[in-house]
């Protein structure tokens, strides 16, 4: 459920099913504590390169790296703690 979002105006009623699915993935990423892709216009779920194209995108290696960064403590079997790096850059 999206309670409040600054989604582009296009998504207010005009999104394709693929775009809407990617939008939901994007917002779930934020709910998990993941920020936007850097650079912001990258074709990753957490970026905005796919906006206004009529297409969605699959999770990229960069998106998966961001999850690993946010939850590295769990993968390492450590107690919860903030990420040790500030951002994951995508190419």
Q: Which residues are paired to 38 by β-bridges?
A: 89
Which residue has 């990258």 as its token pair?
Answer: 42
Looking at residue 2, what is its pLDDT?
A: 52
Q: What is the rounded (10 degree) CA torsion for 44, 47, 53, 56?
A: 40
pLDDT at position 61: 92
pLDDT tens-digit readout, 4-43: 556 555 555 677 788 888 888 988 998 888 888 888 888 8
Q: Work out the percent of the chain whose per-residue pLDDT is above 70.
A: 84
Mean of the per-residue pLDDT values of the chain:
81
């Amino acid at each position: 459920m999206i309670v409040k979002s600054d989604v582009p105006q296009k998504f207010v009623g005009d999104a394709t099913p693929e775009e809407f699915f990617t939008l939901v993935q994007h917002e779930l990423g934020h709910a998990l504590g993941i920020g936007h892709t850097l650079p912001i216009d990258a074709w990753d779920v957490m970026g905005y390169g796919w906006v206004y194209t009529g297409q969605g995108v699959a999770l990229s290696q960069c998106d998966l790296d961001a999850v690993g960064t946010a939850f590295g403590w769990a993968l390492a079997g450590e107690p919860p703690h903030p990420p040790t790096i500030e951002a994951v850059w995508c190419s």
